[in-house]
Amino acid sequence: MHRRLLLTAALSLTLAQRMAPAWAEPADTETEPQTRPGIGVSLQQMLAALDARFPLRYPVPGVLNLDLQTPRLQLLPAQDRLGAEMDLQAEGPALQRSHQGTFTVDFALRYEASDRTVRAHRLRLRRLQLPTLQPTIVALINGYAQTLAERSLLEVALYRLRAKDLALADVMGLQPGNITVTDTGLLIGLVSKPL
């Protein structure tokens, strides 16, 4: 009994020491402890993971092609969401030339245990701008805008945790839980595994 208690305490201390930099987040001292157990993911780590998946091309059959460049992510801690703005290029048979614009969305985050990824979900289209296009073409593209937003970012893996990132948490009977957007990145909370 004492050995099990000592082993659990030793593993907790080891986990705390190894993950302390990822936990360190200033908190409201009146409502929360100074540090919370979790795994930190920086904005730069998410951008590097996204860079490998873009640019993306979405055709509107027989009309035009839409090319989306790598998103510029914005942390929105007050809403516990991320924002993304992408440069957009529209070209094709319905257009006389190539047109540039921007596509802006925001979204919540969830953890997918099956592949250890942080994924975008509950996506909201904020703005689609193509200032040099005729209003009728812009209206057509706007008809596809929510679908385009969902296809380009909904459930996109923004970051994949490595097995070794979760090894100590697994030994402690912990697993990733809720994801909090902070001023510097994400904090993936650790919660007890169900019995």
28-37 pLDDT per residue, tens: 434 444 355 7
What's the CATH number where 63 sits? 3.15.10.40
Residue 183 falls inside a structural domain:
no
- pLDDT tens digits along 93-105: 878 889 999 989 9
Token pair listed for 62: 């027989």
The number of CA neighbours under 13 Å toward the Cβ of 126 is 11
Question: Mind listing the pLDDT tens digit for each residue in 37-58?
Answer: 789 999 999 999 889 888 888 8
Assess contact for 73 and 82: CB atoms under 8 A.
yes
pLDDT at 35: 53
Domain contains 89: yes
From the CB of residue 66, how many other CB atoms can be counted at a distance below 10 Å? 25
Q: Mapping DSSP to helix (H, G, I), strand (E, B) and coil, where does residue 73 land?
A: strand
Residue 87 sits in which domain range?
A: 43-177
Q: Is position 31 within any domain?
A: no
Q: How confident is the model at residue 152, as a pLDDT?
A: 66
Domain count, the chain: 1
Q: Does residue 124 fall inside a structural domain?
A: yes
Identify which has the larger pLDDT, 184 or 127.
184
pTM of the model: 0.72
